[in-house]
Amino acid sequence: MTFDQDQIDELKSCYPNLGAVEDGEKSFILISPLPLPAGCVPQVVDGLLCPFLRDGYPSRLFLSAKITHKGQGQNWNADGVMIVGRKWWAVSWNPLKNKQPNQDDNQRLLGMVTAHLQAFQ
Amino acid sequence: MKPIIKIPRDLYEQARVDLLRQHEFAWERVGFFSTRCSKTQTQTIVHCVAYDPVQDDHYIEDSSVGVRIGPKAITEAMGRSLNNSVGQIHVHWHGGKGLPHPSTTDSKELPPVQQSLRNANAKEGHGWMILGNHDAWVSVCLPEEQVPVLESPVTIVGFPTIVNHRDASGHWGKLASGLKKIFKRKKSDGRYHRQSFLGAESESIIGKATVGIIGLGGGGSHIVQQLAHLGFKNFVLCDHDCISKSNLNRLVGGTLADVKAKRLKVAIAERGIKKLHKNANIQSYTSRWEDVPESLMLCDLIFGCVDTFATRRDLEAFCRRHLIPYIDVGMDVHELTVGQYEIYGQVILSMPGKPCMHCMGFLHEDVLSKEAEKYGDAGSNPQVVWPNGILCSAAVGIAVDMLTDWSKKTRGPVYLGFKGGELSLQPDKRLQHLQTHQCSHYPLSQVGDVIIKPL
């Protein structure tokens, strides 16, 4: 799987250190570091963006550590799952759920990350 | 510690067929394995992930040696190493039954080839290898080492899987090992006499294999029990749970006293093994399997007796990355109509390089999505002892056949479906379309430690 360069550039404008990692036929984007919204503990983790359908979610954002936060995404359903040789944690958060059909910002890589981070705001 | 070399059987066969072809003037042929590594804190595993023959016109006519390849062949190997971030192992064929040995010419001419490859790309491990019929002699120089390691243990992963253990290094080690073998032969007490049809070497093969078992409940308890009876002595066991009263209907070896003592399931399994092999080498973990990847990476085979599809997916991905055969066992009781039940189960052998559980249609996004909606909670689903017994017996049979090749029949993917009402365990119909199927989900190019490509 390859990513559109313009989307990578857009994502890099916010998160300069990106890496592509492959697991099976799927390509993930490693965001290291990934600063989290205010109120999250810890404040900075590594993120693994899964920009494709996984476990019923159109996209997922896995974090390298379990965090505490005051956002709406309080249900987690991935705790210590192994992807690309590391353990990850993720909340049950579907950013497409409350979107209008014409709002396609969150189909882009940066939009996906932003939408997932809303779970912690 | 010597690195372990792993070669998928299909690659091994590809190399063998190529190396045995006649050349216009050369007496032997040469090829190169591309390699990737997995590393634990103490052990490096070198995985062969591709084979490239040396082109006919890259040989040089030289009657003083069996084969000589020219600079173009070496340059190509260097290019593959640099372009694909892989190691290169020069390989040629000697054949023979046991461990092949290098000739004087090999020992003189091939180390410089190894050094040339290292000069081109010092970040990867390079070497040279001599293939025999069931084993290989290898010299490999890892990036962090200055001196090549000779005679690394070699595993051929496939149908059958051959694990060639090496005895302690050095002549004294070999002598000690030889004496030990003679001593053991004298001591043989006929314990495994009734299973001698598994092959003359089966006792040794079984006794040296390391098996991982994830989940020591209704499924895993059957498996560990049978493996111990068969003579398996090296285990990596993972289960964080303690036995509870509701486990007693199916956890083999569990007792009321264990429930009262809130005994860990791994402790019950360990106790069962130790009653048969007091010196068994058991690594028991009361954590999740994801917490002990380094121990599992060194297993020759892993059984998954887990509750969720997501865990199966992740375990299979882990095993594929480290070239470990994975055997999945599971069952579920379904209420078809009110009061009408059926038991469905499966035993799947997921062999690296062969169709995976996605290819077989067992794992797909639908089942993973539905499971995720329930937060991966398997809940208190009905479970019962005998289907687990049937499924796990089949799984153990597959493992023994894979390691000993006693039946000489297991050559393709294995997916057995179980129907409790019929007490039937049959190959899944989808298998007929998968005999020559190439798995696209887990390409060999992704074997080994994860590579992060900067974007």
Q: What is the mean pLDDT of chain B?
A: 92
Q: In chain A, which residue's Cα lies nearest the Cα of B367?
A: A55
Q: What are phi and psi of A24, to 5 degrees?
A: 65, -140
Q: Are the Cβ atoms of B291 and A80 closer than 8 angstroms?
A: yes
Predicted confidence (pLDDT) per residue in A2-17, tens digit: 788 999 999 999 999 9
Residue B372, chain A, CB below 8 Å: the answer is yes
pLDDT recorded at residue B148: 93
Residue A102: pLDDT band (50, 70, 90) is: very low
* Residue B237 and residue B215 in contact, taking contact as beta carbons nearer than 8 Å: no
Chain A closest-CA separation from residue B288 CA (Å) = 9
Predicted confidence (pLDDT) per residue in B118-140, tens digit: 999 999 999 999 999 999 999 99
What are the chain A neighbours of B364 within 8 Å (beta carbons)?
A: none
Chain B closest-CA separation from residue A17 CA (Å) = 8
CA distances from B397 to B163, B233, B314, B419, B440 (A): 18, 17, 24, 19, 28
pLDDT recorded at residue B141: 94
- With a cut of 70, say whether residue A99 has pLDDT above it: no
Rounded Cα distance, B107 and B109, in Å: 6
Rounded Cα distance, B284 and B354, in Å: 30
pLDDT recorded at residue B175: 58
Chain B from 408 to 447: CB within 8 A of any A CB: 440-443, 446
Q: Which two tokens stand for residue B230?
A: 């068969």
* Residue B202 and residue B402 in contact, taking contact as beta carbons nearer than 8 Å: no
| CATH homologous superfamily of B193-446 | NAD(P)-binding Rossmann-like Domain (3.40.50.720)
- List every span in chain B annotated with CATH 3.40.50.720: 193-446
Peptide bond into A42 cis (omega under 30): yes
What DSSP letter does each residue of B238-288 carry, written as one string? E--PBP-GGGTTT-TT--HHHHHHT-BHHHHHHHHHHHH-TT-EEEEESS-
- Between CA B179 and CA B187, with CA B182 as vertex, the angle to 5 degrees is 125
- List every span in chain B annotated with CATH 3.40.140: 4-157
Rounded Cα distance, B133 and B405, in Å: 15
- Between CA B405 and CA B411, with CA B319 as vertex, the angle to 5 degrees is 25
A-to-B residue pairs, Cβ atoms closer than 8 angstroms: 76
Q: What is the mean pLDDT of chain A?
A: 88
Residue B230: pLDDT band (50, 70, 90) is: very high
Chain A closest-CA separation from residue B85 CA (Å) = 14
Residue A28: pLDDT band (50, 70, 90) is: very high
Predicted confidence (pLDDT) per residue in B348-405, tens digit: 999 999 999 999 999 999 999 988 887 655 557 888 999 999 999 999 999 999 999 9
The shortest CB-CB distance from B288 to any of A24, A57, A80 is to A80
* Residue B329 and residue B395 in contact, taking contact as beta carbons nearer than 8 Å: yes
Domain of A53, in residue numbers: 5-120
Q: Are the Cβ atoms of A81 and B310 closer than 8 angstroms?
A: yes
Q: In chain A, which residue's Cα lies nearest the Cα of B352?
A: A24
CA distances from B421 to B150, B281, B329 (A): 55, 39, 18
Residue B287, chain A, CB below 8 Å: the answer is no
Residue B310, chain A, CB below 8 Å: the answer is yes
Q: Residue B437 gets which letter from DSSP?
A: P
pLDDT recorded at residue B178: 60
pLDDT recorded at residue B165: 85
Please provide the CATH number assigned to the domain covering B4-157: 3.40.140
The shortest CB-CB distance from B455 to any of A20, A53, A84 is to A20
> Smallest Cα–Cα separation from B290: which of B274, B270, B313?
B313
User: In 3-state terms, what secondary structure has residue A13?
Assistant: helix
Q: Which two tokens stand for residue B126?
A: 């390079």
Predicted confidence (pLDDT) per residue in B18-50, tens digit: 999 999 898 999 999 999 999 999 999 999 999
Amino acid at B243: I
pLDDT recorded at residue A101: 44
Q: How many domains does chain A have?
A: 1
Residue B295, Cβ neighbours under 10 Å: how many?
17
Residue B286: pLDDT band (50, 70, 90) is: very high
The shortest CB-CB distance from B452 to any of A19, A24, A53 is to A19
Mean pLDDT across B181-207: 82
Reported pTM = 0.93
- With a cut of 70, say whether residue A97 has pLDDT above it: no
What are the chain A neighbours of B369 within 8 Å (beta carbons)?
A: 55-56
Chain A closest-CA separation from residue B375 CA (Å) = 5
What are the chain B neighbours of A24 within 8 Å (beta carbons)?
A: 317, 320, 441-442, 446
Contacts by residues A51-55 (CB-CB < 8 Å, ≥ 24 positions apart): A51/A3, A51/A109, A51/A112, A52/A1, A52/A26, A53/B365, A54/B365, A54/B368, A55/B310, A55/B368, A55/B369, A55/B371, A55/B372
Residue B223: pLDDT band (50, 70, 90) is: very high
Mutate to test the interface with A, among B289, B450, B451 (most CBs of A within 10 A): B450
pLDDT recorded at residue B167: 64
pLDDT recorded at residue B378: 53
- With a cut of 90, say whether residue B152 has pLDDT above it: yes
Percent of chain A with pLDDT over 90: 67
The shortest CB-CB distance from A24 to any of B372, B373, B442 is to B442
Instruction: Count helices and strands (H / E) in chain A.
Output: 2, 6
Q: Are the Cβ atoms of B442 and A81 closer than 8 angstroms?
A: no
Predicted confidence (pLDDT) per residue in B59-83, tens digit: 999 888 889 999 999 999 999 999 9
Q: Residue B11 gets which letter from DSSP?
A: H
